[in-house]
Structure 1
Amino acid sequence: MQSAELFAGCGGLALGMSLAGFRHQHMAEFDQDAVATVLHNKAKGVEHVRDWPMGLQDVREIDWKKLTSLDLISGGPPCQPFGIGGKKHGQDDHRDMWPEAIRAVREANPRSFLFENVRNLAGPRFRSYLDWIVSHLERPNMVRKSDESHAEHCARLTASRGRKEFNVFWQLVNAADFGAAQIRYRVLIFGIRSDLDIIPTPLMPTHSRDRLLWEQYVTGEYWTRHGLGRGRTPILQQDRARVERLKRFDVEPAGAPWVTLRDALKGLGEPNGKRNHLLQAGARVYPGHTGSPLDLPAKALKAGDHGVPGGENMMVRDDGSVRYFTTREAARLVGLPDDYEFPRSWTESMRQLGNAVPAPLGAAAGEWLAAQLNGGKANGGLASARRAA
């Protein structure tokens, strides 16, 4: 199935789509460092990446009418206008690229699309703008007039009695629920062309915290898997009631356990200076920045306005000490393979990784979307097999 990716960054979502069986016919990214990272790995021949048609390009310059045979358009418009950090100017921020994402859908008319953004987009401050995005994606050819506000345009879109061009829905997801080793909440917006007569259904989680707790504190198999004594880490206070409920009903939760930081980093060892696995000094704990414990998925990687915020993006080791994640470790948390290298500095590389969509979330969403388009059949991707392994 043929796809295009805009706002590609260092390739997290693009890799997920590739694992799900999509083949990128066009990729665009405006950030020079992110493009340099992808091209570095393309030159190395990294699987999937070697086939990406990546280019340094402003999405505002793309003529989407030349790409009219696409099964999918995917991408993550810049999240800074809507993030928890920053100035939160939303649609008034010059970096807001949602109108360009909608233009891509209007001009290319793909069979489907998938866009993602920060969960704050669904919060009270920006919910009306999310409503406008969804309404406009349903009818991308009903363009906003120059003298029309977003609210007025949204009202006109909603009042339209014509058939929607796309069936669209959005949902808030946690990447950890789909096999990523990060607790990272994102808004996903899916759309399927209405003439295909497919009503999309929600993306269902494949992993759970309950299954992790079951394997840690009911069967103990988690600790056995890591060669550790049972109950190495005490049950967190907020999990005690859940563990007692699991023990009382003795019903094994379905699906796979959350992937923990210990799981994700297994076999990597301490920093050795090879393949971006280099120790970065200076990690310290302070209020609100306490690092990630080993036996849960990591806290969401942060990019920060100027690289990595001090005190975050770090692990809490078994002895209670903390250190920063190496670039290699952070890449594992994004789901990138160990031969995927970052040629820039640690700060710049962590900025890219903090902005990246975890590849397992992208793969799960891509497989789900492909199955919708294929009448319930998978797309021939490798993502499910790799998660099962």
Structure 2
Amino acid sequence: MCGGAGGQALGLEMAGFSHAAVIEIDDWACKTLELNRGQNGPHGPWPIIHADVHDVDATAWEGQVDLFAGGVPCPPFSIAGQQLGADDERDLFPRALEMIRQIQPNAVMLENVKGLGQRRFDDYRKAIVAELQAMGYDVFWEILQAADYGVPQLRPRFILVAVKSQYAPYFVWPEKLSARVSVGQALHHLMSANGWPGAKAWAQGADGVAPTLVGGSKKHGGPDVGPTRAREAWKKFGIRGSSIAEESPSENFPVDDPDTLPRLTVRMGGVIQGFPESWTWAGGKTAQWRQVGNAFPPPVARAVGQSIANALRMKDLPENTLASTPLEAVLKN
């Protein structure tokens, strides 16, 4: 549910899952899904459903699904918003729980902004856990940093995983990678694509993990890296964040000029999010950037998806590996 531009779905596919449905309401995000994974898409078709999740009859998949996954809207819990939680009309956790109850999958994966992990939402999380437990699931949650799984930006995300009780002893969170990917490593070839002579030096200077990309909402935010603080952070990576470029810097673009810095393109933003370069983004620049900035990084979905798949296969845990602690135990402590 809430498939967006396909980041979570793509990562779960990489983890070995095939999709029974990819549901999304936004017109441009659906167009992006169609361009990449429609019947004529270059990467093979997904069963894309362009609809409001409230209008989808979930009973069609009852007892036929291993994993129910989704990126429920983040405004109810975002620090950038009013943090209304359950009082926000955009809160789709109740609908997700309703669909889970109808479908009865073996596992659930829901992601949101890290704000949902805050103390002020303890009661809300406990209510979600209680409902899932009543359905026969053991529940786990964690705040994962995308940078720990090969994504060249921080992007902390709240991840909730629930598995039927018989699979719970086999679930562990994915291990962090031993090294992080820097912005320079990820984007050097794109920065140099049009012959910019300063690309190599730029990449050497951009040797850290990027700040979290933001895309804004339909009401707020345009094609830029975000507010003043975010722009200042990107400036340290040699990026001008006031707008998004149409293409990579040309061979005539200045070198070593602090007042004339290169800008990110939509494709570069997609790579920062962990999408393949070949992913096509639909819409005008604002619509494209909104999809990029609001996406869930595919490498993170892949890592968590592999852990879920291992649990469903009841794969024995490696020696000296501690099983994850169910969410209710964490809350009790």
Q: What TM-score results when the alignment is normalised by the length of structure 2?
A: 0.78
- Which residue of 279, 296, 299 maps to 2:211? 299
Corresponding residue for 2:181?
A: 259
Question: Residues 84-124 of structure 1: CA distance to partner in whole angstroms, max 9, x if unpaired?
Answer: 11222111111000001111111100011110111111112
Runs of 4+ in 1 over 3 A off after TM superposition: 310-315, 318-324
**Equivalent-residue separation in structure 2 for 1:59 and 1:125 (angstroms):** 27
**Equivalent-residue separation in structure 1 for 2:172 and 2:98 (angstroms):** 25
Corresponding residue for 2:278?
A: 339
Question: Residues 2-57 of structure 1: CA distance to partner in whole angstroms, max 9, x if unpaired?
Answer: xxxx010001111000111100011111111111111122355332xx22111211
**Equivalent-residue separation in structure 2 for 1:331 and 1:10 (angstroms):** 10
- Which residue of 53, 62, 65 maps to 1:59? 53
Question: Residues 322-357 of structure 1: CA distance to partner in whole angstroms, max 9, x if unpaired?
Answer: 443210101101221121111312221111111111
* CA-CA distance at 1:200 after TM superposition: 5.1
Which one has the bigger strand percentage? 1
**Equivalent-residue separation in structure 2 for 1:104 and 1:261 (angstroms):** 39
Is the 2:77–2:115 Cα contact (8 Å) retained in structure 1? yes
Corresponding residue for 1:253?
A: none
Is the 2:5–2:295 Cα contact (8 Å) retained in structure 1? yes
1:250-289 alignment, distance < 5 Å: 256-270=178-192, 272=194
Question: Residues 350-369 of structure 1: CA distance to partner in whole angstroms, max 9, x if unpaired?
Answer: 11111111010000001111
Specify the SS of the correspondent of 2:69. strand
User: Which ranges of structure 1 fall in alignment gaps of 5 or more residues?
Assistant: 1-5, 141-164, 208-255, 273-292, 379-389
Change (3 A) 1:197 1:336: closer
**Equivalent-residue separation in structure 1 for 2:69 and 2:37 (angstroms):** 20
Q: Does 1:81 align with 2:58?
A: no
**Equivalent-residue separation in structure 2 for 1:81 and 1:265 (angstroms):** 33
Aligned identity (percent) is 32
**Equivalent-residue separation in structure 1 for 2:147 and 2:316 (angstroms):** 24
Q: Does 1:45 align with 2:41?
A: yes
Specify the SS of the correspondent of 2:163. strand
Amino acid at match of 1:104: M
For structure 1, which segment, 23-32 or 335-344, has the greater mean C-alpha deviation from structure 2 after superposition?
Answer: 335-344
Amino acid at match of 1:198: A
Question: Residues 223-270 of structure 1: CA distance to partner in whole angstroms, max 9, x if unpaired?
Answer: xxxxxxxxxxxxxxxxxxxxxxxxxxxxxxxxx311111121132234
User: Which ranges of structure 2 fall in alignment gaps of 5 or more residues?
Assistant: 195-204, 239-254, 318-333
| Alignment coverage as a number of residue pairs | 279
**Equivalent-residue separation in structure 2 for 1:262 and 1:376 (angstroms):** 37
Question: Residues 54-95 of structure 1: CA distance to partner in whole angstroms, max 9, x if unpaired?
Answer: 121111112222102101010110001110112221111110
**Equivalent-residue separation in structure 1 for 2:184 and 2:291 (angstroms):** 23
Amino acid at match of 2:169: I
**Equivalent-residue separation in structure 1 for 2:123 and 2:302 (angstroms):** 29
Corresponding residue for 2:324?
A: none
Is the 2:28–2:282 Cα contact (8 Å) retained in structure 1? no
